[in-house]
Amino acid sequence: MISKKILFLIIILIFLLLSNVLLSLPKNFSPHSNSLNKRNDVKVYNLTITKKKLAPDGFTREMYAINDLFPGPLIEVNKGDTLRLNVYNDLEEKTAIHSHGMFQRGTPWYDGFSGQSQCDIQSKKSFTYEFQVNQSGTYWYHSHSKAQYIEGIIGALIAHDPDDPYLKEYDEEIVVLIQDWHHNDAKTLLAQFLSPESNGNEPTPDNGLINGMNSYNCSGAPNGSDCVSNAPLANFKFVQGKKYRMRIINTSAFSVFIFSIDDHPMDVIEVEGMMTQRYTIHRLPINVAQRYSVIVSADKPIGKYWMRSEMETACFATQSDTLNPLVKAIVEYEGSDGNDNPNSSAWTDSQATCIDLDTSNLKPYEVQTIPDADYKVTLNVTFQPDDKNVTRGYINNSTYVLDSKFPTLLKVYKDITTFKPNQNVYTIDKDKVVDIILNNFDTGNHPFHLHGHVFWVLGIGINGTSPDYNSVNTKDPIQRDTVTVPAGGWHIVRFVSNNPGVWSFHCHMEWHVQSGLVMQFVTQPDQIKELKPPDDWFNLCKS
Ligand SMILES: *[C@@H]1O[C@H](CO)[C@@H](O)[C@H](O)[C@H]1NC(C)=O
Ligand SMILES: *[C@@H]1O[C@H](CO)[C@@H](O)[C@H](O)[C@H]1NC(C)=O
Ligand SMILES: *[C@@H]1O[C@H](CO)[C@@H](O)[C@H](O)[C@H]1NC(C)=O
Ligand SMILES: *[C@@H]1O[C@H](CO)[C@@H](O)[C@H](O)[C@H]1NC(C)=O
Ligand SMILES: *[C@@H]1O[C@H](CO)[C@@H](O)[C@H](O)[C@H]1NC(C)=O
Ligand SMILES: *[C@@H]1O[C@H](CO)[C@@H](O)[C@H](O)[C@H]1NC(C)=O
Ligand SMILES: *[C@@H]1O[C@H](CO)[C@@H](O)[C@H](O)[C@H]1NC(C)=O
Ligand SMILES: *[C@@H]1O[C@H](CO)[C@@H](O)[C@H](O)[C@H]1NC(C)=O
Ligand SMILES: *[C@@H]1O[C@H](CO)[C@@H](O)[C@H](O)[C@H]1NC(C)=O
Ligand SMILES: *[C@@H]1O[C@H](CO)[C@@H](O)[C@H](O)[C@H]1NC(C)=O
Ligand SMILES: *[C@@H]1O[C@H](CO)[C@@H](O)[C@H](O)[C@H]1NC(C)=O
Ligand SMILES: [Cu+2]
């Protein structure tokens, strides 16, 4: 009896600790007290997705929340753990959850891309995603159904590594989610975007957020809005003398930001799960879906400093009069007095616009051997009007059309081997090394993301240059899962295609996903068929 009571108390305690962590983003947490271990635990998170009226920046609107939170709860695992996500869809519409950057080796049916790896989770139904996390680093999860992630179905997913080489070089961790924000609902914006009148010009955001917060000048809001100016900014606490690992995640729909903290240089140590050698910068460009870890030393005089996330409006198709592109948060040293705002000044280093951090300056932490390529897949990206005069995204002259009721992975299980041209399928039968040579003929930049893998970024070229194997790095490039191809430019990336499944390769700007800038790799269909999805997964397609 006593042991049961104690067990009960322990469960209550764990629950209290857990709910404390979940309810208080942004919050520093210590990697050392986070029970880092190599036990291969099962970590369980319940995610209930609802609609809710919230005002992240003072402007009240109907949006999504996960467990009543925006951003959604912070998910933490240790490398080797199994992550179980019990998703309950409490919406009046369908949804699906993708864990961005997770390899899903052996569990391709949990990748969460509705129409490719699963059917949607119906309204008022549950679905459990369960997979082993054999990787570490900074990730996120988001809806991969319609444009839902734009309106709040996002959260951070951190995989700690008990053997992280930098573990002793920082004291605490801070998660920073950066995103753009719209005051209109995505359905309206999407209908406008996918109409002939838009000419393919993407909706311009109304604001940007840091960890779901910012202020907004309500004089820019339509009459009758429920809007309060000067909403609070996110506040990050520093203790002088401590070192912080900041995990910066860009969950934007469209905007590219440049991230910085006044007076505080940052050492990049991680790019999307790959540890790098330390590289000091002042201003970090970070495109949609990209992630970096940086180490920041709180070694400046006690006071307050601006954290800045500057939207690169030069990359927008149309400009807005009411958008303040400078998104701010406050870094406050313990012991600072007064309620005054920081008076610090921004770094002045110039930074090329609308392209990735020049990763040629980043070196992997460990030396890798890069295999030679077996296949070279050339992809041409264009935007053109379709037969209804709606501007859509094309890969090799083909725009992707979602087949949400019959996902590609299910087709594979039904022994279908040929796919409609509008599915943009590329099949890789054997364990191969694949180069993607992507030519961007569009006037915008595009952050391309590959599901289920990381790739080596061999080379990126700007407008006026062409893909050239003589100028690429096959010696010590970094690996990541999201790379930006510049306007009019190209990239060459290489990946080892040894993970059986259906893996999307798409631009991560949500507007462009919806306009068809998507393809999918069907990898080793024979091996896929040896993997057995659970009945619950098949049942998703029966409703
Ligand atoms: C998740 O929900 C189930 C069923 O309601 C409950 O038994 C379990 O304790 C919850 N787990 C967590 C981690 O909240
Ligand atoms: C994870 O790694 C362990 C140990 O290397 C291995 O046995 C297991 O199959 C891996 N699981 C996945 C899903 O990759
Ligand atoms: C297509 O739409 C654009 C933008 O509204 C318009 O300028 C053009 O005339 C239309 N073309 C056709 C063929 O309808
Ligand atoms: C808000 O915008 C209005 C109109 O542009 C301007 O007059 C006012 O000073 C702004 N308020 C603040 C607090 O910036
Ligand atoms: C808002 O209402 C005021 C007063 O009725 C009016 O002067 C103004 O033009 C309106 N603004 C907009 C954007 O409709
Ligand atoms: C995040 O990505 C968006 C879209 O590319 C971009 O506009 C924004 O500037 C990025 N944020 C940062 C901090 O770089
Ligand atoms: C900011 O304000 C503090 C306290 O008022 C002052 O000591 C400091 O010199 C100011 N810094 C700058 C850069 O103006
Ligand atoms: C696109 O076309 C190129 C050149 O014909 C070809 O190599 C590639 O396989 C095509 N890509 C797809 C996804 O079909
Ligand atoms: C892609 O563009 C290149 C350069 O214009 C061209 O040579 C090639 O034929 C195109 N491939 C496809 C599949 O459109
Ligand atoms: C792409 O499709 C358009 C319209 O169907 C056609 O006119 C054009 O020749 C095609 N281009 C290529 C490279 O196949
Ligand atoms: C590339 O540069 C040329 C010459 O400056 C320009 O005409 C063209 O529009 C640019 N292309 C893109 C896609 O930006
Ligand atoms: Cu795009």
The two beta strands, 432-440 and 490-497, are antiparallel
pLDDT in tens, 157-179: 999 999 999 999 999 999 999 99
Question: Considering every ligand atom, which ligand is closest to the CA of 509?
Answer: 12
Cα–Cα nearest to 208, from 325, 317, 290, 289:
325
CA of 396 to the centre of ligand 8 (A): 6
Residue 457 belongs to some domain of the structure: yes
Based on the domain organization, do 322 and 471 belong to the same domain?
no
* Most confident option among 3-7, 240-244, 322-326, 366-370: 240-244
pLDDT given for residue 7 in this prediction? 53
Residues with CB under 6 A from ligand 4: 217, 219
Q: Evaluate: CB of 487 within 6 angstroms of ligand 11.
A: yes
Domain final residue, candidates 336, 361, 386: 361
Confidence category of residue 510, pLDDT binned at 50, 70, 90:
confident
Query: Does residue 83 sit in the same domain as residue 232?
Result: no
Cα(354) to centroid(ligand 6), Å? 9
In a domain, 141, yes or no: yes
Q: Which amino acid would we find at residue 518?
A: V
Q: Which string of DSSP letters, residue by residue, matches 169-232?
A: G-SEEEEEEEEEE-SS-HHHHHHHHTSGGGTTPPPPPSEEEETTB----GGGSPTT--B-SSPP
Q: Do 102 and 226 share a structural domain?
A: no
418-467 tens-digit pLDDT:
999 999 999 999 899 999 999 999 999 999 999 999 999 999 999 999 99
- pLDDT tens by residue, 181-234: 999 999 999 999 999 999 888 898 999 999 999 999 999 999 999 999 999 999
Would you place residue 322 in the very low, low, confident or very high pLDDT band (cuts 50, 70, 90)?
A: confident
What confidence score (pLDDT) does residue 352 get? 59
Q: What is the pLDDT of residues 86-98, one digit of tens each?
A: 999 999 999 999 9
Last residue of a domain, one of 162, 191, 217: 162
In our burial notation (b when 16+ CB lie closer than 10 A, e otherwise), range 468-489 reads: eeeebeeeebbbbbbbbbbbbb
Whether 115 and 41 map to the same domain: the answer is yes
The answer to the question of residue 17 being in a domain is no
Which residue range forms the structural domain that includes residue 136?
Answer: 35-162
- 43 alpha carbon, closest ligand: 1
The pLDDT assigned to 254 comes to 63
Two structure tokens written together for 485: 């191809």
Residue 38 binned pLDDT confidence (cut-offs 50, 70, 90): confident
The residue behind tokens 């407008």 is 463
CATH number for the domain including 188? 2.60.40.420
Low-confidence winner among 129-138, 333-342, 388-397 (lowest mean pLDDT): 333-342
Q: How many domains does the chain have?
A: 3
Does ligand 6 have an atom closer than 6 angstroms to the CB of 511? no
Write down the pLDDT at residue 4: 56
Query: In the structure, what pLDDT confidence band is assigned to residue 123 with cuts at 50, 70 and 90?
Result: very high
Q: Which atom of ligand 11 is nearest to the CA of 441?
A: 13
Pocket of ligand 9 (CB under 6 A): 378, 380, 396-397, 439
Q: What is the mean pLDDT of residues 278-305?
A: 92
Q: How far does Cα 177 stand from its chain's mean position?
A: 9
Q: Do residue 384 and residue 240 come from a single domain? A: no
Q: Which atom of ligand 5 is nearest to the CA of 222?
A: 13
Same domain, yes or no: 115 and 152: yes
Residue nearest to atom 14 of ligand 3 (CA): 389
- Residues within 5 A (CB) of ion ligand 12: 446, 507, 509, 512
Ligand 1 site, residue 46, Cβ cutoff 6 A: yes
Q: What is the mean pLDDT of the chain?
A: 90
Q: Is residue 354's pLDDT more than 70? A: no
Residue where a domain stops, chosen among 162, 192, 222:
162
Q: With 60 as the cut, is the pLDDT of residue 1 above it?
A: no
Predicted confidence at residue 318, as pLDDT, reads 65
The tokens describing 244, both together, are: 């912080």
